[in-house]
Chain A
Amino acid sequence: MSGVDRLNVPEFERPIVELEMKLESARMDLANARDEAARVSKEEEVKHLEKDLKKLTDSVFGNLDPWSRVQLARHPNRPLTTDYIKVLFDDWQELFGDRAYADDPAIVTGLGTINGVKCFVMGHRKGKTLKERLECNFGCAHPEGYRKALRKMKLAEKLALPIISFINTPGAYPGLEAEERGQSQAIAENIREMATLRVPIICLTIGEGGSGGALGIGVGDRYLIMENSYYSVISPEGCAAILWHDAKRASDAAKVLRLTPNDLIELGIMDEIVPEPYGGAHRDPRKAMDIVKATLLRHLGELQTIDIDTLLDQRYEKLRKMGKYQEVPMATA
C-alpha cells in the first residue's frame, strides 16, 4: 500500500516490517550489483533475510493471542468499509441522511452491484485521513447514523434488495448529544426492525465489533467475521478498567472476554470465519478483497434460494438459540 506509514503498526508486527524493509533494500542492492562478487554476496544476504523473515512471521502470526487480534482488527492499514465498497461494488450510489436530523458520516449507506447482483450496502465508516477520522468520530455512530441505516434498509426491503452490512466500530458514540437524540432508542429500533426485514441480510464483521454500536446494524441471516476481527460486549480496555481498575490490562481482558472469531463460533454466535491473507488483510488487501467477494457471493446465492418466510423463521430461531443457561429440575411445579 502506498502512502501509508509502514511502521505505523502494532508493536508485535514492527520487527516484521523492519525486516521486510531490510529485505527490500537488499533486493534493490542485488538488482543493482556491479560485479559478480557483489552479486553473490548480496544474493547470500537476501536468502538469509528471506529465511529470517519466514521464521519471524511464522512465530508472530502463527499464534496470535486475543489481544494481537484486537490490534490487527484496529490496524491503521486495514481495509475499511469504504475500501470494500470501492473495490467490490460497481455502480455505487451513496445515499445520505436520516430525514430527521442529519447525515452521520460514521455510517455509510448506498446501492451497489456485486458481480451483477444488486444490493443495498451499509457499514461503519472510520475514515482514512485524520480529518475523515474526526468527521466519522473514528467509526462511532450517533443516533442519526442508525436512523439513516434503518431508513435505507426499509428502502432495500421495498426494492427487494439483499442487504450487506460491513461492521467495524469501536462502539456507538458515547456523548451528550447522542443521549439527547436517543442513542439507545435508535439502536433498539434497528435491532428490532432488522429481525423481521423481508430481505436477506448478511452481516460481515471486518474489524471491530464494538458492542451495541455494532449490533445496531448487525442483525441478519448470516453472521460472518474476518479472521482478525473481534466482537465484544465491551472493549478490552473498558473491561480491564472495570475488573482491575487498569485499562492497561486490556490484553488480559481480551482473553477473558472470549472475543476472537474462534470463540464466537464456539459460543454459537458467528456462523463462519472469513480467512485473511497471512498476517492480516492489510498485508495483501487485494487478496482479502477477493476472499470477501467470493464469500459474499456464495452466501448471497444461498440466501436468494430460500423463501423469505422460511428465512425469517431461521433468522428468529438463530437469535432464540443465542445464550447459554441451564434449566434446573424443579422439586415442585
Chain B
Amino acid sequence: MKWSLGSKRGAPDGLWMKCEACDNLVYKKVVEDAHHVCPECGFHFRISAAKRIEYLLDDGSFVEHFSNLESIDALNFKGQKSYKDKLLKAQKNTGQREAAVFGTGAIAGQKVVFGVIDANFIMGSMGSVVGEKIARGAELARKEKLPFIVVSGSGGGARMEEGILSLFQMAKTSAAIKRLQDAGGIYIAILTNATMGGSMASWASLGDITIAEPKALLGFAGPRVIAQTVRQELPAGFQTSEFLLDHGFVDMVVARKELRQKLISLLRYTCREMPAYVKQSGRQTSKVEAPKVASR
C-alpha cells in the first residue's frame, strides 16, 4: 500500500484526515483507535450516537427505547429552508430519526438507562422529541431504579424551529429529572462539544455527577452574542470544559478514552449492588467496602 501525504486538500479519502482544531494531517486509523481524538492536539472529534454507545456500554447490551418518536413541524416553520426539509436532511445524514437516542444498556454488567444527544443531528438541538426522550428516560430510570446517564452534544440549545415548544422542553426535562432525583435516583450528565443554551440551562446542568469531555464548548449564551454584549474580546478558553471546572460547575474533565472506566468507577459508588473495587496486585486480597457516605 502506498501512502502519499500530498497536499492537505488532496488527502486520500479514507486514510488520512485533517484535524479541524490543529490543522494537522493525521492517520485516520490512529484517530479511530483513540476513540476519535486527535493524536496531535487531543481534540475530541464529533462522534455518532452509535459510536458513543459502542465506546461506553458493554458490547451488544444496548436496547433502544422510544425510537418511534418523530418530530413534526408543528409551527409550520419557514426560514430559508423549511423545518421539514431540515429534518429530512438530518435523518438522511445520520440514519437516525432524531438527535436523541435512548435506551437501556449495561456498563460492566450494571444495567443503566442511557441516552445520547447526537450533535450531528441539527446541532443536537432540543425539540419536542429530544425533550420527550429525556423525560421518558428519566421516568424509566425512576421506575426501574436504574442509573440515568445522558451524553449531551447539544450546541443548538433549544431548537428554534419548534419555538415555544422547544423552550418548554427545558421545564419538562428538568421536572422529570427532579422526580428521579427526589426518588433517590442518580443522574450522571456527560457534557460533550458543544452543549449550549436551553440544553445547558436545563437537563445538562442538573447531573448529580457531571463529567465533561476536554475542551468542549459549554455555556449559556453563544460566544458571539456575548462578544457583542460586552464589546470586548473573550478570554482564551472561555466556556470550555476546563473553564467550567475552574469555576466549579463540573465534577471532572475526562478524556474520551477513559470515560468508560471512569463511569464504572463512579457506578460502583452510586449503585449498592455493584461490588466494590478489589485491588488486584500486591498481597491485599480482602474486599474493600465502599465508603457509606458516597452510596445513595
Contact = CB atoms under 8 A, between A and B. Distances in A.
Interface stretch (B14-22, B101-109, B124-132): B124-132
B143 to A, nearest CB: 14
Interface string B16-37: 0000000000000000000000
A185 interface: yes
Interface in B135-176: 135, 158-160, 162-172, 174-176
B175 to A, nearest CB: 4
Contacts of B92: none
Nearest to B74: A324
A156 B176 CA distance: 23
B62 to A, nearest CB: 15
A48 to B, nearest CB: 44
B132 A325 contact: yes
B165 A324 contact: yes
Most central of A259, A264, A326, A330 by chain B CB within 10 Å: A326
A116 interface: no
Contacts of B159: 233
A188 to B, nearest CB: 4
Interface in A70-98: none
B226 interface: yes
A175 B179 contact: no
A322 B169 contact: yes
Contact of A264 (B164, B170, B222): B164
A319 B169 CA distance: 8
Interface string A195-216: 1100000000000000110011
Given A188-B206, A191-B202, A319 B167 contact: no
Given A325-B69, A326-B72, A319 B178 contact: no
Q: What's the interface size class on B, roughly?
A: 35 or more
Interface in B269-285: none
Given A187-B201, A195-B178, A324-B74, A330 B167 contact: no
B88 interface: no
B115 interface: no
- Category for how many chain A residues contact B: 35 or more
B72 A324 contact: yes
A330 B220 CA distance: 37
A257 B163 contact: yes
Contacts of A212: 158, 167, 170, 197-198, 201-202, 220
A267 to B, nearest CB: 6
A319 B171 contact: yes
A195 B158 CA distance: 19
Interface in A170-198: 172-176, 178-185, 187-189, 191-193, 195-196
B172 A320 contact: yes
Interface string A301-333: 000000000000001100110111111111000
A155 interface: no
B245 interface: no
A175 B169 contact: no
Contact of A325 (B72, B178, B239): B72
Contacts of A320: 135, 172, 175-176
B240 to A, nearest CB: 11
B84 to A, nearest CB: 13
Nearest to B97: A328
A181 B229 contact: no
Contact of A323 (B79, B128, B178, B204): B128
Interface of B: 67-72, 74-75, 77-80, 97, 127-129, 131-132, 135, 158-160, 162-172, 174-179, 182, 197-198, 200-206, 219-222, 225-226, 229-230, 232, 234-235, 238-239, 247-249
6 closest A-B pairs by beta carbon, nearest first, are A323-B128, A174-B221, A195-B175, A324-B74, A188-B205, A243-B79
